[in-house]
Amino acid sequence: MAPFDPSKLQVKNKMPAAVQITAEQILRDAVEWQSRETKQPNRTFVDQDELVYYKAQRRKEFEDKLRRQRHHIGTWIKYALWEANQQDFRRARSIFERALQVDPNNVNLWLRYIETEMKNKNVNAARNLFDRVVSLLPRVDQFWFKYAHFEELLGNYAGARTVFERWMEWNPDDRSWMLYIKFEERCGEIDRCRQVFERFLETRPSCTSFLKFAKFEQRQKNYPLARAAYVKCIELIPPELLTEEFFLKFAAFETSQGNISGAEKVYEQGLALLPREASELLYRTYVSFQKQHRDKDTIDNLVVTKKRNDYEQQLVDAPYNYDVWFDYIRMEEQQLCDNRFDLPDTSHTEAQRARVCELYERAISNLPHVDDRRLWRRYSYLWIGYAVFSELKLEQPDRAVAVYKKALQVLPKDFAKFYILLGELYLRLEDLDAMRKTFGLGLGQCRKPKLFQTYAQIELKLGNLDRCRHIHAKYIETWPFKPDSWLAFVELELLLEERERVRALCEAAIAMDQMDMPETIWNRYIEIEKGWQQYPYVRNIYERLLLKTTHIKVFKAYCDFEFEIGCLDNGRSIAERALDYYKASNHQVERAAMLAHLLKLEHTHGTEETVSKVRERQPKKVRRKRKMADGTTSEDIVYVFPEDGLQQSKILQAALRWKQQIKST
């Protein structure tokens, strides 16, 4: 017979099985079968020989397992506990010792060994095991605690104290020290507790340890020593290691003792030492404390102090944030307006003024570090605020002058506002020479229009007309193509009722071809002549303006003028001129707009006959299609005027036919 060859097997049915078997399912089944333990039936031994046979069989099973799994400590423990249950302690100890030779640092093995001796009341054996394990594993606090507790249960307090002393030599954690202290407290040895606490604080100083000592002394009603513990903690512990909880408990202790001022000092010290983000609860508690024990002024001072600390922290992070500086300074200036500082020359007022001045000095020392004009402008308001505060609150105008002069040295030269403010300050001090010198310096440095205007206004109020005209002349000389310079001079002469000077200035201004926005000059010139009711001059100006521009706004304004003064025929004539011009120039939109404006004027000032005539001349809008160069079609709006004759009518008729054709299709 030929041997079996599995490679020649052929699968007849290659369809998938109804139930798929996965590796996960195989492993799960194996684990389930392993976890099932068969329950041993209760056995009854007839005689001693049968019992000895059973014990020998069980020992053989354990030994076989240990030969296979020597490092499996669980098997050693089961073996030893089984021997202990048989009351064969000699064999049980032998098994535990053999296991310790395999793994002498196994904590669970030592615990079961010791528990077995304690359970069977083998006191000396258990004590010997404790001595061995604490010598072998001194860093496992569990053995020390169980050893001390074991001696305490036996009533051997001296032995338990000896165990704690040996334990403390290894400098354990805070919990271990507290266990020693609790032990002495249970024994009623209060002085020993204090001695242990002293050693504890010397070895492991911290806020937690001092708080525990203070709490212990409070339980013993020794309040001076408890306060001394709190104070000693602040002296010894570095500020960065102090906690919010410590200050809260210290303040609560002082409050419970009725020492309100002491509690307040604790709160203030805590807020000063702790960072802002780590003292929110302390601050809220302090506010509540002040509401209970202090008046309104004290509470306000607390709120201000908290805000002050917040601003200082923000400025440490961002010294160039001028918004924070403004808010900070505004808060400090507000303190001068409170009722607490009503009396002049009080120490509080002087101190607060000095604080504000110091803040201004600190703020202006932070010059912008980038070339950003908006930032520099924001920074410049710090100088303005400082000068105004010096003049109004400090009543020291000389100091304000010095601030402005220093600002002019620090800020860019084109900040005309400071020349104006300094000049106005000299004016209030009645120092006209210094005022004029300041404005002259400013005009030489930056030549801003606002500087010319302000200087001229001041001289006008002082009645120095020649100086005022000289300033305006310099203004025009500096800005010859700026309409504001000409108009400012015109307004001055208009105020002085110098008509010929006004006309001369306006004529000179409109004669300049490079003028920016010349329509401003023309419009103001026309308004002035209208105000004087010099209508021939107005017509002359309009006619000259039409020689320069044919904009529809000029024609409309000219027509409006004629209709307003009652010269309707002149107005209609001007409108016809505009219509003829736009018709000749083929400006259909302007022509249609002019006709609409004329109709509006006729509605207001004309008769029914004139209104109907103008209405008949109104154009009609027609859409016209035309092909573009790229082949696309564009639609335009064409105005068809009835007065244009037959050609326009043909266009209109063709457009109407095209529209009807579109509707029919």
Please give the Cα distance from 657 to 433 (Å, whole number). 84
* CA nearest neighbour of 165 among 151, 155, 153, 154: 151
Confidence grade of residue 339 (pLDDT, cut at 50, 70, 90): very low
Query: In the predicted model, is pLDDT for residue 395 greater than 80?
Result: yes
Please give the Cα distance from 388 to 399 (Å, whole number). 10
Q: Which of 94-98, 476-480, 620-624 has the lowest mean pLDDT?
A: 620-624
Please give the Cα distance from 384 to 387 (Å, whole number). 5
The larger pLDDT score, comparing residue 455 to residue 280, is at 455
Q: What is the pLDDT of residues 547-577, one digit of tens each?
A: 998 899 999 999 999 999 989 899 999 999 9
Q: Contact 390/421 with Cβ under 8 angstroms?
A: no
The phi and psi torsions of 626 (rounded to 5 degrees) equal -150, 150
Work out the mean pLDDT of the chain and round it to a whole number.
87
| pLDDT confidence of residue 3 | 64
Query: In the predicted model, is pLDDT for residue 537 greater than 60?
Result: yes
- The proportion of the chain whose per-residue pLDDT surpasses 70, expressed as a percent, equals 92
What is the arithmetic mean of pLDDT over 490-505? 92
| pLDDT confidence of residue 489 | 93
| pLDDT confidence of residue 641 | 83
Residue 631 lies in a domain: yes
| pLDDT confidence of residue 152 | 92
Q: Contact 621/629 with Cβ under 8 angstroms?
A: no
What is the arithmetic mean of pLDDT over 382-405? 93
Query: In the predicted model, is pLDDT for residue 652 greater than 70?
Result: no
Q: Give the gyration radius of the chain's Cα atoms.
A: 53
What is the arithmetic mean of pLDDT over 108-137? 92
Confidence grade of residue 157 (pLDDT, cut at 50, 70, 90): very high
* CA nearest neighbour of 492 among 549, 484, 225: 484
Residue 663 lies in a domain: yes
- The proportion of the chain whose per-residue pLDDT surpasses 90, expressed as a percent, equals 51
Q: At 660, which helix (H) or strand (E)?
A: helix 646-664
What is the arithmetic mean of pLDDT over 424-450? 93
* CA nearest neighbour of 114 among 103, 105, 125: 125
* Residue 621, beta-bridge partner list: 639
Q: What is the pLDDT of residues 616-638, one digit of tens each?
A: 888 888 777 777 777 677 777 77
Single-letter residue type at 153: L
* CA nearest neighbour of 601 among 591, 611, 588: 611
Residue 299 lies in a domain: no
| pLDDT confidence of residue 639 | 82
* CA nearest neighbour of 404 among 373, 428, 380, 427: 380
* CA nearest neighbour of 388 among 404, 373, 372: 404
Residue 650 lies in a domain: yes
Confidence grade of residue 646 (pLDDT, cut at 50, 70, 90): very low
Q: What is the pLDDT of residues 314-338, one digit of tens each?
A: 888 888 999 999 999 999 988 887 6
The larger pLDDT score, comparing residue 622 to residue 282, is at 282
Residue 657 belongs to domain spanning: 623-665
Mean pLDDT comparison of 26-30, 280-284, 401-405, 642-646, highest-scoring range? 401-405
Confidence grade of residue 1 (pLDDT, cut at 50, 70, 90): low
Three-class DSSP labels, 132-166: HHHHHCCCCHHHHHHHHHHHHHCCCHHHHHHHHHH
Residue 643 lies in a domain: yes
Residue 639 lies in a domain: yes
* CA nearest neighbour of 601 among 626, 633, 578, 634: 578
* Total residue count of the chain as it appears in this document: 665
What is the arithmetic mean of pLDDT over 161-171? 92
Q: How many other C-beta atoms lie within 10 A of the C-beta of residue 309?
A: 16
C-alpha separations of 644 from 614, 623, 647 in Å? 14, 18, 7
Token couple for 47? 């005689």
Confidence grade of residue 340 (pLDDT, cut at 50, 70, 90): very low
* CA nearest neighbour of 364 among 378, 352, 354, 374: 378
DSSP state string for 91-136: HHHHHHHHHHHH-TT-HHHHHHHHHHHHHTT-HHHHHHHHHHHHHH
What is the arithmetic mean of pLDDT over 168-194? 92
| pLDDT confidence of residue 169 | 92
C-alpha separations of 641 from 501, 550, 598, 611 in Å? 48, 21, 15, 17
| pLDDT confidence of residue 16 | 73
Residue 520 lies in a domain: no
Residue 496 lies in a domain: no
Helix/strand/coil for 15:
coil
Please give the Cα distance from 252 to 289 (Å, whole number). 10
The larger pLDDT score, comparing residue 646 to residue 220, is at 220
Three-class DSSP labels, 210-256: HHHHHHHHHHCCCHHHHHHHHHHHHHHCCHHHCCHHHHHHHHHHHHH
Please give the Cα distance from 274 to 618 (Å, whole number). 84
What is the tally of structural domains in the chain? Answer: 1
- Alpha carbon dihedral 272, 274, 277, 278, in 10-degree steps, equals -140
> Helix 416-428 crosses helix 397-410 at what angle (to 10 degrees)?
160
What is the arithmetic mean of pLDDT over 427-449? 92
